[in-house]
Amino acid sequence: MLALPSGAFAWERPAGSPPGWHSSWVQTVDQVVVFVHADGDLSFGQAPPGLFFRVDAPAQNGRLWVYDPLVDAWAWIAAAGTEAVAAPTEDQVTASAQVLGPREYLYAQAPDLAPRLDCIISGESGWEPSRQNARTRAAGLAQFVPSTWAATPEGEQGLSPFEALANIDAAIWLARTRGWTQWQVYIEGSCR
């Protein structure tokens, strides 16, 4: 069995495939748990059916060490709920992203920030992408006021704050660049 260095987390580069290992591809056919380690319960959440993963090492404890081309990251996933497939094309991988709902997309894009942003979005908009505050004009899932939205990479590209995935990308960017105090539910202590 392949032994990864202790503490090899999914967001770090892989320790390397064993000599003679040839990568293969799997696709999720059921919702599968995405784990931080080959054993233990620490997870990033779940991957929905239809996603492609490249298997980069032999299975351990019923889990596969995989590369996720959608987010350019490695993780362990439960082998049950996947099936072997031929290497997908870039278009197939891109199309598989469409199976992700906004919450799943958040956990795939930023597993480190997702639990807190999930709480914030739940408190700000109830996960309703069309929500707008009549008084402040804050819009979308993470409730961006117009001036803040305009300063995000997504706002600069002319995307709408009502576009769910763009709103999530902007929320991730905002949390990483300006911190959590941008959201009232965090300031009030609801999402610590």
- Between 149 and 32, the more confident residue is 149
Among 99, 118, 142, give the residue marking a domain's end: 99
183 and 122 inside one domain: yes
> Does residue 182 lie in a domain region?
yes
Whole-number Å distance between alpha carbons of 186 and 10: 27
- Between 190 and 130, the more confident residue is 130
Count of alpha carbons within 13 angstroms of residue 6, beta-carbon side:
0
Q: How many structural domains does the chain have?
A: 2
95 and 37 inside one domain: yes
Comparing 90-99, 117-126, 159-168, the range with the smallest average pLDDT is 90-99
Residue 57's CATH number: 2.30.30.40
Instruction: Give the pLDDT band of residue 174 (cuts 50, 70, 90).
Output: very high
34 and 64 inside one domain: yes
> Does residue 167 lie in a domain region?
yes
Instruction: Give the pLDDT band of residue 69 (cuts 50, 70, 90).
Output: confident
**Mean pLDDT value across residues 160-182:** 93
In this predicted structure, the answer to whether residue 173 has a pLDDT above a threshold of 90 is yes
Its pTM stands at 0.56
68 and 127 inside one domain: no
Residue 113's CATH number: 1.10.530
118 and 176 inside one domain: yes
82 and 117 inside one domain: no
Q: Write down the mean pLDDT value for the chain.
A: 85
44 and 57 inside one domain: yes
* DSSP per position, 139-189: BTTTTB-HHHHHHSHHHHTT--TTSHHHHHHHHHHHHHHH-STTSHHHHTT
Domain that holds residue 176: 102-187
